[in-house]
Amino acid sequence: MNGKGWSPAEVRRVGAKVVDLIAGYLERLGDGPVWKPVPRALIEAWQHAAPPLVGQSSDEILEAFARDIAPYPFGNGHPRFFGWVNSPPTEIGIFADALAAAMNPSVAGGDHAAVYVERQVVRWFAEMLGFRADAMGLLVSGSSAAALTGLAVARLHACRRIGRDVREDGLQGVSLRVYATAEAHSCHQKAVELLGLGRKAMRLVPSDAVLRLDTDRLDALIREDIAAGHQPMAVIASAGTVNTGAIDPIDRIADICARHGVWLHVDGAYGAPAVLTERYGDALQHINRADSLAMDPHKWLSVPVENGLILVRDAQLMRDTFSLVPAYLRTDDEPWLSEYGIQQTRGFRALKTWMALRYHGVDGYKQRITNDCMLAERFADQIRRRADLELWSPSSLSIVCFRLRDSDDRNRDLLKSIQHGGRAFLSGTVIDGRFWLRCCFVNHLTTDADIEILMRAI
């Protein structure tokens, strides 16, 4: 190690080793158990080791990775990881992250390629999801950050409607309300708390029997709140809930929002890309009525974590929410991306997204998502045929929930024994007050043979 950095020969030598580690990792991923606990001794070693005083060689560091880190993955990437919504990484995305780090730009703004790549990716997604090309957006860490960003714009919008400047005066004396069902992701509550609305601002809208937002009840709640002097700020509609994949009636919700001048945030973190498919194109066609939409390329599009998208229909409003450049100094030719969101220094997240989109193409993604939905349907059929198992119906998108016709405790035991058995990994959830096992198909490596193994594990 000297003051000069690595020679090109050293970059190539270490790079070859890293590529070898990546190839080996991916090659062996399907062999091992889907998940195994990290050994206690290793955890303790990590917890107690002091910061390294003297530097180590890259060879030693890579050896430690191969020995202590690579063998204990989260589990996603394995064809029988069905827990939550975590996909395998698209291979080109792995290398895109290394290339992005090599360039290491800040994508806050300026005239360099990364800025234009991110703008192109956002425009591509806008088009794929049915938005107009003048919608604005950013790549963020995920749909939690996307929700916070979108709801911050909604807050500005709601305050303007009552003649308040939230950036100048804050929320004193303003009582905003946000509407969502119990099936909506918890990140919205986090956003509402962080935005200073207070937890009481969150109004729970009842769901119907198949866990979709009940629009009559939504309309009634909004009217009640207006009559009581509150200011309805935003409705959260789910385009694929995380529990069951339920899709809220977005068209009718958008009508209600339009009637009352309320912001519509569509959470399509997981489900929005299914708008590309024939099967779900109709159910999702109205996501483009959203004022803001969250979608996670790091979920169904297999872009390596972290990768989330926030799209906002009104670019000016988004800029007005975050920009610290006074209006008289703003230029319209290429505003900085940092004027539209929370971060100043911004990573080159767009490169892996751009490469993945080019690699798969819209058609490739459509095919993959369609396949995942078909696998889920075939798995649901198998559950339906078993007298000792109960299927949550309707299953939607690529999520299948089921349970033993037995106590919650027995179902929790079953989940644990499947997880520890290592042959498959499922998650659990509570629907209807009862505990269910939950299976989500977002891995293009999964085949019918894996469903067979999963059935045997059950």
Ligand X SMILES: *Cc1c(COP(=O)(O)O)cnc(C)c1O
- The residues of the shown chain that bind ligand X, judged by CB under 6 A, are 85, 142-144, 185, 187, 241-242, 267, 269-270, 296, 308
Q: Rounded CA gap, 210 and 65, in Å?
A: 46
CB of 198 to ligand X, least distance (A): 21
What minimum distance in Å lies between the beta carbon of 224 and ligand X?
Answer: 27
Smallest separation (angstroms) from ligand X to the CB of 308: 5
Nearer to ligand X by C-beta: 152 or 242? 242
- Token pair in block for residue 92: 């080109």
Beta carbon of residue 45, minimum distance to ligand X (angstroms, whole number): 29
Least distance between ligand X and beta carbon 270 (Å)? 4
Q: Which is nearer to ligand X, 149 or 323 (CB)?
A: 149
Q: Nearest-CA neighbor of 33 among 412, 383, 417, 304? A: 417
Q: Which is nearer to ligand X, 118 or 267 (CB)?
A: 267
Nearer to ligand X, 190 or 384 (CB): 190
Which residue's Cβ has the minimum distance to ligand X? Answer: 142
Parallel/antiparallel/unpaired status of strands 292-295 and 263-267: parallel
Question: How many whole angstroms separate alpha carbon 295 and alpha carbon 272?
Answer: 6
- 94 to each of 22, 88, 98, 356, 429, how far by Cα in Å? 9, 11, 7, 10, 31
In terms of CB distance, is 202 or 414 closer to ligand X? Answer: 202
Closer to ligand X by CB, 144 or 277: give it: 144
- Least Å from the CB of residue 296 to ligand X: 5
CA triple 45-50-55, angle to 5 deg: 110
Nearer to ligand X by Cβ, of 34 and 85: the residue is: 85
CA distance linking residue 355 with residue 375, whole number of Å:
27
Q: Which is nearer to ligand X, 79 or 245 (CB)?
A: 245
State in angstroms the smallest separation of the CB of 122 from ligand X.
Answer: 17
Query: Least separation, in Å, of the C-beta of 397 and ligand X?
Result: 10
Minimum distance of ligand X from residue 140's CB (angstroms): 9
CB neighbours (10 Å) of residue 279?
Answer: 14
- How far apart, in whole angstroms, are the C-alpha atoms of residue 438 and residue 402? 7
Nearer to ligand X, 97 or 267 (CB): 267
Rounded to 10°, the helix 8-29/91-103 angle is 150
Please report how close the Cβ of residue 305 comes to ligand X at its closest, in angstroms: 8
Question: What is the spatial order of strands in the sheet that 292-295 belongs to?
Answer: 136-140, 308-312, 292-295, 263-267, 231-238, 176-180, 202-204
Q: How far is the CB of 408 from ligand X (least distance, A)?
A: 24
Q: Which is nearer to ligand X, 248 or 296 (CB)?
A: 296
Q: Which is nearer to ligand X, 440 or 454 (CB)?
A: 440
Structure tokens at 428: 């659990």
Q: Give the residue with the Cβ less far from ligand X, 267 or 390.
A: 267
**Both structure tokens of 194:** 């962080």
Q: Could you tell me the smallest distance in angstroms from the CB atom of residue 144 to ligand X?
A: 3
